[in-house]
Amino acid sequence: MAIRTVDCAPAAEPALGCGPLIGLPQEKRPLRQRVLEHLRASGSASRVDVARELAVSPASVTAIALELIERGLIAETVTPRDSARGRPPVALTLVRGSHTVAGIKLAADVHTAVILDFAGAVLAEASIPAARDRCTAAALLAETEALLEKALAEAGMVRSALAGLAIGMPGLIEHERGRALWSPLLIERDADLAALFEARLGLPVALDNDANLLTLAELWFGAGRAMSDFALVTIEHGVGMGLVINNRLFRGASGFAMELGHTKVALDGALCRCGRRGCLEAYVADYALVREARIALGANLDEKKNVRILLRELFDEAEAGNAAARSIFQRAGRYLAMGLANVVQLFDPSLIILSGGQVRFETLYADAVMDEMRALSLDTGRTPRVEVHAWGDMVWARGAAALALSALTERLVGEARP
């Protein structure tokens, strides 16, 4: 089984392929929106190219371009060309400075923010340590605001210059209604988080599950630029999943699909932080490893220790030959293989991307795990390719910012509609 590990230091200026939206199928989105998204994806394009690409008449593109130019959202640029024949071609490009958005990833240890211009280029990045324990919505809001201010200062901007914000966080997040039904970061249940944040920050705020946003980041400036269908599995504080079918994020009927971490891998199994037993993440996520780490390390059970440090110690011990430490990773690896085999059996993806902090522990995605995944799957002769994308937190935040950009584009188009 070949695994390809992709080194994923994100490029400073990605050509953001924000084409495929989440909500409507590509064909049903207003043409204005499709024109803007096409320009964002391609960087620049002539009217004729845009018309050809979107399979509409050049006249309709010309009319829309006129309106978007008048509104200051796009501009004409003359590109010199080799041949001396004819007029130099005129390309359309987005006006970068017309709008600015922010994206934030909230997590158990570090919160991360990024600010993008209208074309999707990164203007600033920032991060702050998270509160140690799960907190109230008010406390989370205060942390978010502090982080946002830090990123704005980095960009030399004021908050009122932002056109929108999107936030990704772990848990059962209802994107449509902007509510957090349950999150490991929050004490409250069913918190009306987007509305709370909007009221405090004075900005349009979109909320989403963090794995969905990492999947959107892959769709928009990662694997999705070459692939229309793929699955993404995140392994860090929990286990998440995103699925792209036909260039679109699959969300399920109520927006709660892809909770791979809470699929059951054992009846009456290990206790999960969701309160149920036998969930995949109760065997694979970092809190599952931590649960047994203290035993393997002979550490004081009462001692409060940073999770990343503890796991690093555990990993080093396993590498050094500590059998108990090795067995923790081996068992987690077998359950991960089982979870991945179930993804293969149900979705038959041609590509599975493994991502998130935990995947840096090679043991978890070692060849043995991949071999076991294959052994547990029906033999079709088409095992999916598995890639390990060692993205940092910043890419999750970029996924959030891309969502903010997409929501902004929808609003702008909505305003323009007759």
Residues contributing to the site for a copy of itself (CB under 8 A): 25, 27, 172, 181-182, 229, 241, 245-246, 250-260, 262-267, 274, 276, 278, 334-335, 338, 341-342, 345-350, 375-382, 384
Q: How far apart are CA 418 and CA 411, in angstroms?
A: 13
Q: Answer whether 97's CB lies under 8 Å from 117's CB.
A: yes
Question: CB-wise, 113 or 249, nearer to a copy of itself?
Answer: 249
| Closest distance to a copy of itself from the beta carbon of 27 (Å) | 6
Helices then strands (H, E): number in the chain? Answer: 12, 16
Which of 149/292 has CB closer to a copy of itself?
A: 292
Q: Smallest distance, Å, CB 170 to a copy of itself?
A: 12
Measure the CA–CA gap between 207 and 165, rounded to whole angstroms: 9
Buried b (16+ CB within 10 A) or exposed e, 192-226: bbbebbbeebebbbbbbbbbbbbbbbbbbbbbbee
Question: Please, what is the minimum distance in Å from the beta carbon of residue 33 to a copy of itself?
Answer: 17
What lies within 8 Å, CB to CB, of 100 at 6+ separation is 115, 116, 117, 118, 123, 155, 157, 161, 162, 163
Minimum CB–partner distance for residue 171 and a copy of itself (Å): 9
Nearer to a copy of itself among residue 126 and residue 191 (C-beta)? 191
- Smallest gap from Cβ 121 to a copy of itself, in A, equals 32
Count Cβ atoms within 10 A of the Cβ of residue 237 and give its class: 0-12 exposed, 13-18 middle, 19 or more buried.
buried
Is residue 117 within 8 A of residue 102, CB to CB? The reply is no
**13: helix, coil or strand?**
coil
Please report how close the Cβ of residue 275 comes to a copy of itself at its closest, in angstroms: 9
Report the C-alpha gap between 50 and 408 in whole angstroms.
21
Query: What's the closest the beta carbon of residue 147 comes to a copy of itself, in angstroms?
Result: 28
Phi, psi of 156 (to 5 degrees): 65, 40
Shortest distance, position 394 Cβ to a copy of itself, whole Å: 28
Nearer to a copy of itself, 125 or 281 (CB): 281
Query: What is the residue whose two structure tokens read 């928009």?
Result: 220
> For residues 327 and 345, which CB has a smaller minimum distance to a copy of itself in the complex?
345
Q: How many CB atoms lie within 10 A of CB 344?
A: 22
Alpha carbon distance, N-terminus to C-terminus of the chain: 55
Q: What angle do CA 177, 181, 183 make, to 5 degrees?
A: 125
Residue whose CB is less far from a copy of itself, 27 or 70 = 27
